[in-house]
């Protein structure tokens, strides 16, 4: 991790308690590891994307970075400060520098508050209410391209895209350096997705923001992220620069995800990597390479030996038999 990284996460673990005393006594695990040893860094002004399917631990990871979910081990350094172990009451200034956006555009806005109150809230929380709140609200509305009369609307009167803009405005209200965005385009129609992504890109450029984007939508990643990581069962299976990963995925899971994206072209010949079986339970992680139960390329060793984390090209991957290393062509290469 470079020292000038805005955020660097090292070997982060997040546990959830499951079951009670009885199941512990019955020998069942008392914890699941939603995030199991993850490391990455985000440099200033750059965007990092976390990709994975449901249950991969990407949202948990994002919440751990923001301190909403206590981490059980590892390190999170933000602007040079270690965040793990920061007492509860010292989080406030940190959160001013690092804001978060949540999945549900409407649901992440307090339903009984007007847009005005919602946008003023960051200032009130951080004791900045002496500022001219109305001016700030108007500034923010203008910033995200909403007319000023929206200040008096309530969340349920907003469309998904409008609500998302309000969410973005709140996130940038206090000039943070890092925005964590959990599925910023979820629930939005494609025509609106573009608006939101454009807005985020704009703001990043204008305000010099860094972003951590969590998504399952690979197309979004390609449009917005500089670096990306693919998560499976709480671990990174592949992490690196975005474009090379799209063109030459090395981990079979990454390749499968990429190939699973139907493209809007009826003439496209699909050459899919089909993933058999279901995602294993976190309570019962597979041995060896945790992907071996679904990996079409798995061999004997995969079931027993945990693959090391290696650099292949510019990407760090966890696989015994990475793809695209020699002359093997991408299985699913888009154009």
Partner 1 sequence: MLRLAKIWRIVRRIVREPLGALGLGLVVLVVLSALFADVLASYPPTKLSPADRFAPASFQHLLGTDHIGRDLFSRVLYGGRIALSIALGATGASLVIGIMLGLIAGYGPRWLDNILLLVFDALKSFPTVILALTLVTITGPSLMSVVLVVVLVSVPGYARIIRTQTLVLKSAEHVMAARSMGAGSARILTVHILPNVIGPILILASMDIPVVVAIEAGLSFLGMGVRPPTPSWGSILNDGFANIRDSYWIVVAGGLPIILTTLGFTFLGETLRDLFDPRLKGRV
Partner 2 sequence: MTVLDIRDLSVDFATESGALQALRKVSMSVPENRIVGVVGESGCGKSTLINAILGLLADNGEVTSGEILFEGTHDLTTLAGTAMRDLRGQKIATVFQDPMGALNPVLSVGRQMRDIQYRSNLSRREKDARSIEMLRKVRIPDAEQRLVQFPHEFSGGMKQRIAIAMALMMEPSLLIADEPTTALDATLEVTIIELLKELQQQIGCSVLFISHHLGVIAELCDEMIVMYAGEVVESGTTRDVFHNARHPYTRKLLACDPARLTHRARRLPTIPGTLPDLRNRPEGCVFQARCELADATCSRMPPDEEIAPGHLARCWHTEASVMIGAGA
Binding site for partner 2 (CB under 8 A): 53-54, 159-160, 189-195, 197-198, 201, 216-220, 222-223, 243, 256-257, 259-268, 270, 272, 274-275, 278, 334-335
Answer yes or no whether residue 95 interacts with partner 1 by CB under 8 A. Answer: yes
Among 286, 181, 230, which Cα is nearest to 57's? 230
Of 110 and 134, nearer to partner 1 (C-beta) is 110
Of 199 and 302, nearer to partner 2 (C-beta) is 199
What is the distance between the alpha carbons of residues 226 and 82, in angstroms, rounded to a whole number? 24
What does 100 bind: partner 2, partner 1, none (CB cut-off 5 to 8 Å by kind)?
Answer: partner 1
Contacts of 141 (CB under 8 A, 6+ apart): 115, 119, 147, 148, 150, 151, 169
Among 104, 132, 130, 102, which Cα is nearest to 116's? 132
Angle (CA) 239 243 249, round 5°: 55
Q: How far is the CB of 102 from partner 1 (least distance, A)?
A: 4
What does 149 bind: partner 2, partner 1, none (CB cut-off 5 to 8 Å by kind)?
Answer: none
What is the distance between the alpha carbons of residues 335 and 316, in angstroms, rounded to a whole number? 24
Q: Strand order in 227-232's β-sheet?
A: 98-101, 178-182, 210-215, 47-51, 227-232, 235-241, 315-318, 309-312
Of 50 and 71, nearer to partner 2 (C-beta) is 50
Contact set for partner 1, span 282-321 (CB under 8 A)? none
- Strand-pair partners of 215: 51
Q: How far is the CB of 113 from partner 2 (least distance, A)?
A: 23
- Stretch of 4-12, 111-119, 130-138, 235-243 lying at the interface with partner 1 (CB under 8 A): 111-119
Q: Which positions from 65 to 94 touch partner 1 by CB under 8 A, shown as an x/- string?
A: -x-x----------------------xxxx
Of 163 and 224, nearer to partner 1 (C-beta) is 163
Answer yes or no whether residue 156 interacts with partner 1 by CB under 8 A. Answer: no
- Stretch of 95-103, 220-228, 231-239, 280-288 lying at the interface with partner 1 (CB under 8 A): 95-103
> For residue 246, how many other CB atoms are within 10 A of its CB?
18
Of 136 and 183, nearer to partner 2 (C-beta) is 183
Task: For residue 164, give both structure tokens.
Answer: 């998302």
Q: At what angle do helices 160-172 and 133-143 cross, to 10 degrees?
A: 120
Contacting positions for partner 1 (CB under 8 A): 63, 66, 68, 91-96, 99-104, 107-113, 121-122, 125-126, 167, 170, 180
């Amino acid at each position: 991790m470079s020292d000038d990284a805005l955020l660097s996460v090292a070997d982060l673990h997040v546990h959830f308690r499951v079951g009670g005393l009885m199941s512990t006594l019955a020998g069942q695990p008392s914890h699941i590891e939603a995030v199991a040893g993850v490391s990455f860094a985000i440099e200033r002004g750059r965007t990092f994307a976390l990709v994975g399917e449901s249950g991969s631990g990407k949202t948990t990871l994002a919440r751990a970075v923001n301190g909403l979910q206590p981490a059980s081990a590892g390190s999170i350094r933000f602007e040079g400060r270690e965040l793990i172990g920061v007492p509860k009451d010292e989080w406030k200034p940190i959160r001013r520098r690092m804001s978060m956006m949540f999945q549900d555009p409407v649901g992440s806005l307090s339903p009984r508050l007007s847009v005005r109150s919602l946008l003023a809230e960051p200032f009130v929380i951080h004791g900045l209410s002496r500022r001219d709140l109305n001016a700030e609200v108007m500034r923010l509305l203008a910033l995200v391209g909403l007319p000023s009369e929206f200040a008096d609307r309530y969340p349920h009167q907003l469309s998904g895209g409008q609500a998302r803009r309000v969410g973005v405005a709140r996130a940038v209200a206090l000039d943070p350096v890092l925005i964590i965005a959990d599925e910023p385009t979820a629930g939005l129609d494609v025509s609106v997705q573009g608006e939101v992504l454009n807005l985020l890109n704009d703001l990043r450029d204008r305000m010099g923001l860094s972003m951590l984007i969590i998504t399952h939508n690979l197309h979004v990643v390609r449009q917005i992220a500089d670096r990306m990581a693919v998560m499976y069962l709480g671990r990174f299976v592949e992490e690196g620069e975005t474009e090379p990963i799209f063109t030459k995925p090395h981990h079979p899971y990454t390749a499968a995800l990429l190939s699973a994206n139907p493209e809007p072209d009826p003439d496209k010949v699909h050459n899919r990597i089909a993933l058999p079986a279901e995602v294993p339970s976190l309570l019962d992680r597979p041995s060896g390479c945790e992907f071996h139960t679904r990996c079409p390329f798995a061999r004997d060793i995969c079931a027993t030996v945990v693959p090391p984390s290696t650099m292949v090209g510019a990407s760090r991957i966890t696989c015994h038999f990475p793809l695209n290393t020699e002359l093997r062509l991408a299985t699913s290469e888009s154009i």
